[in-house]
Structures are given as C-alpha cells and as structure tokens.
Structure 1
Amino acid sequence: MEWKKRAQTLYQYLLSKLGQCDLCGNCLHDSSLTQQTLLCSSCLADLPLFDQAIIQGDLLNWPAINKGLPKINFDHLICLSPYLPPFTHWLPQLKYQGRFELATLLANLLAQQWEKQKLTELIAPVDLILSVPLHINKWQVRGYNQAHLLAKPLAQSLQLPYDEFALIRTQNNTSQVGKTGKERRKTLANAFTLAKELPGNTKHIIIVDDVLTTGSTANEISKILKRVGVNEVTIVAVCLTLPNTNN
C-alpha cells in the first residue's frame, strides 16, 4: 500500500539524519560518515559489488557481458553491481520516492570505484559527463531526473565538466520494463537528440544512468554522439541487469 511505502521512506530518511545505517539501523560511530555513505562499515562491505579487479573496472572485458549485449555502440561499461538487493530497493526509492540522499551515496560509490581501479589511466581522458534525459512530460510529473541526481555529484567527485542540458528526450515513450531488446530498440529509435553543439574537441563522453538492462538507451545516445565526432562513449550505471530475452 502507498502509505506503507511512504512510512518506510520516512523511517529510512530519519535513520540517515540520526546517524544510523540505512540497512541495519546500527549507529554510525563517526557522524561525518552519515551524509557520505549512509552505511556502517559492515553493510558497506556486504554490498554485492562486481569484482572489479577481474575485469579491470570495465564490464565489457567480461565475455559474458559482450554476449549479452550484442551490437553495442558504446566502448566501456562501468557498473557497481548486478541489480540485486539492496540496490533493488534503493533505486526505486531514489527514482519514485525522492530519497535524494541515495544519489550522493551511489555517486560516491561509483567515484570510489573509478579511482580505485585507476580508470583514468586505463581509458582515454574524459572530456564531458552527460546524463540520460527524461522527457519533459515525465520530468514535470516526477519533478526530477534520477540520472541527473547521480551524474552531478559524480562529476564533482571526478572533477569533470557536466552538462545536464546537452541531451534531450524528444519522445515520451511508455515504460520499457518487461520489453525485449528488440522492442526497446524500436521504441527508442530517434527518441533522443542533442540540444546544442558539444564543446570543441570533445572526444570521450561519460553517460550516466541508474540501471542498464538491454543497452538500448545507451546505444541510441552513443550513436548520436558518434555522429558528431565523439570517439569514445563510456556508460556509467549503478546496476546492470540482463533479462533472459532475445536481444
């Protein structure tokens, strides 16, 4: 029921403000960690993160991922975790319930992963960060774009320029949940466009989103960017989920 969801969201918000772990409720002994992590050290260590050392931080180095994402137009894929708890709880809370503090938590985790794997040394220098845009009608209903909420603090942490207005979504498509890759590609064809010219000599761009499923959205945006001279596109998402459907 809706009131139960709202009550749970309020409870977790109060926990964060009181300096308690978002998952177990234990006190965060260092109150300075409250806004940075929302998690105690035990719950932080228990997150179901990908083993980044095996794949050198890039999921496209994993053959199974390349097989599951055929005909991709992007060059690198950076994700924290498979779409598993607690991310399956956090991302809907961020997207639909306005738990904005989770954006800071998740962006910090992504930035820490980037720096820990020294991705700046493994891939070409990044010129610009963009976020997957919402159609204006959805934005007016929801009031915010969760991808923007992730991208802005990530850009600040990595000290990279960010432009929330460069990309726009021109089609107000229905939800993509449950659709196959083929259906998503058909729905998303020509759904995005550049609102303005990119800065001169922009060769490598990061696109930030919350979850990557079939890669259709990332592919459409990557095609647009490469048509205007971008050489490399890196997708940065909190989670990766690959449905057992034909792409």
Structure 2
Amino acid sequence: MHEKNRKSFFTALLNFLLPPHCHVCGEFIPRAGRLHICSSCRERMPAPTQPICPICGIPFQGAGHDHPCQSCLKHPPHFHAARAALLHEGPVRDLIHAFKYNARTHLRRPLGLVIVEQLSDFVTGWRPELIIAVPLHVRRLRGRGFNQALLLAELLAREWRIPLQRQTLQRVRWTEPQISLTAGQRRENVRDAFRVKNASLVSGKRVLLVDDVFTTGSTVEECSRILMQAGTGELLVVTVSRVAD
C-alpha cells in the first residue's frame, strides 16, 4: 500500500473507532481536520488584525497602517518581532488554561497547530535557525510535571523542521506567578531569572522563542535580553495568544 494511502486508511480507521470531537464544545465533527475544533468554535477564536505594531504585534483599534506602539517606541524590546496566532479571549483562553493548569497536555496539538496555521508565512520569512522555549524553574516544573512552552515548541520544531534546543536557556531563579502582578511588578519579578548555558549555541543565530501567552511581554522580553547578551543574531517571539490591551 502506498504510504499516503496507508496514512489515509489509518486516519479513517481511527476516526471510526474514536470519532473526533471538538476540543472546545465536545460536539462530534464529521470532518475534523487536524485541529479538532468545530467551525463554530473556531469562529470565536479571532486572530489579531491589522493595523498592528510591527514589533510587539499588538493590534490597534480602527483603520490605518501598521506602526510601532508607544510602548515599543519608549522602551524598545530586545526581540525583533513578536506575533501571536490568536487573541487571548473566548475558547482559546479556556483551552490554554486547561492545557496549562489542568494537565490536559493533549491540547498542545490544537494549540500548536493553530500557530502553524496562522503564523507559518511570517515565521518562514524570518528563516529561524533554531527554536527555544521559555523555560520553567525546576521547582515549578516538578509541581506541574511539564513545561507547556516546551511541548508547543516540540510540535513547532517538527512542523517547521527547525532544530529545538532544550537546555540552552535556563530559568535559574524562582519567580512568583505573574498573573496577579502589574506590568512593572512583572518586569521586576523576572529580572535576572534566566541565563544562557552555552552562548556558542546561539551566537549569531536567528532564534525563534516560543511561549504560550503574551500578556505584558515581560517574560519573553527578559528571555530576549539574556539571549541577545549571549550573542543571538535575530530573535522572533511566537505565542498561541496575546492580550490585546
């Protein structure tokens, strides 16, 4: 049997034995595709739309052209560009919460694939040479059992065929959860929390940094600062979603 026909056969068999259901609403999906999210739920997962800041990717309200936001003009980040596949609202917010805090690690597939769906053209245009995930402190990793950013990065590395480096960027200082902190507190919370283990691995390289959510950007900015200090050539950040205000 031809390889393509074999894959189609086994996919059809699996769908017969385990009918696909929407990850969001649980409804049966006759033609689920790779995301396994029904069209109704997918419509409630909007992507950031132009105009946006070409640096951090935050969308602006109304018409016009892309232009840098006031925050990026006042405090230019160390990353060259950041993009999110979706806005952090509705079903995607619920999926990320379940993935991250309820150990539903199988959700890394639809969340990772939506990044591929929305951002492949942008990422391939940058031609990154390696992927790095935002690391967790060992204490939090033991408590959670997995690093959600690394699970996403593994999928993206396979889809885009970009090498993944797992131990290059390390979290060396414990930080409090960012969720209840102000933007200023978030920046201070993660200050000097990361280090690059072997700078030669990133020196002069175009690096793709992966995380789950872009809120204020303080975590990816601190990671970017450390990576650029280590000699990274260009740095692009991608996340599943971002907070729009």
- TM-score using structure 2 length: 0.80
The CA deviation at 1:68 is: 4.4
Sequence identity (%)? 28
In structure 1, the partner of 2:96 is: 91
- Distance in 1 (alpha carbons) for counterparts of 2:229 and 2:27: 51
- Structure 1's consecutive aligned runs of 4 or more residues displaced over 4 angstroms after TM superposition are 54-59, 61-65
Classify the secondary structure of the residue corresponding to 1:144: coil
Is 1:41 the counterpart of 2:43 in the alignment? no
Among candidates 71, 75, 78, match of residue 83 of structure 2: 78
Classify the secondary structure of the residue corresponding to 2:199: coil
- Distance in 2 (alpha carbons) for counterparts of 1:198 and 1:238: 29
Q: 1:200 to 1:242 in 2, by over 3 A?
A: closer
Among candidates 223, 226, 237, match of residue 228 of structure 2: 226
CA contact (8 A) 2:205 2:232 kept: yes
Q: Which moved more, 1:218-227 or 1:40-49?
A: 40-49
The CA deviation at 1:55 is: 5.0
Is 1:23 the counterpart of 2:28 in the alignment? no
In structure 2, the partner of 1:105 is: 110
Kindly tell me the number of residue pairs found equivalent between the two proteins: 220
Partner amino acid, structure 2, of 1:138: R
Q: Which moved more, 1:157-166 or 1:65-74?
A: 65-74
The CA deviation at 1:41 is: 3.1
CA contact (8 A) 1:133 1:147 kept: yes
- Distance in 1 (alpha carbons) for counterparts of 2:216 and 2:181: 9
Among candidates 182, 185, 197, match of residue 184 of structure 2: 182
The CA deviation at 1:80 is: 1.5
Cα offsets for 1:179-215 (capped at 9, x unmatched): 1222112121110001223437542111111111111
Coordinate RMSD, CA, aligned: 2.5
In structure 1, the partner of 2:243 is: 241
Among candidates 131, 134, 137, match of residue 132 of structure 1: 134
The CA deviation at 1:102 is: 1.1
In structure 2, the partner of 1:14 is: none
Query: Which stretches in structure 1 are left out of the alignment for 5+ residues?
Result: 1-16
CA contact (8 A) 2:129 2:163 kept: yes
In structure 1, the partner of 2:69 is: 66
Map of 1:2-17 to 2, 5 A cutoff? none
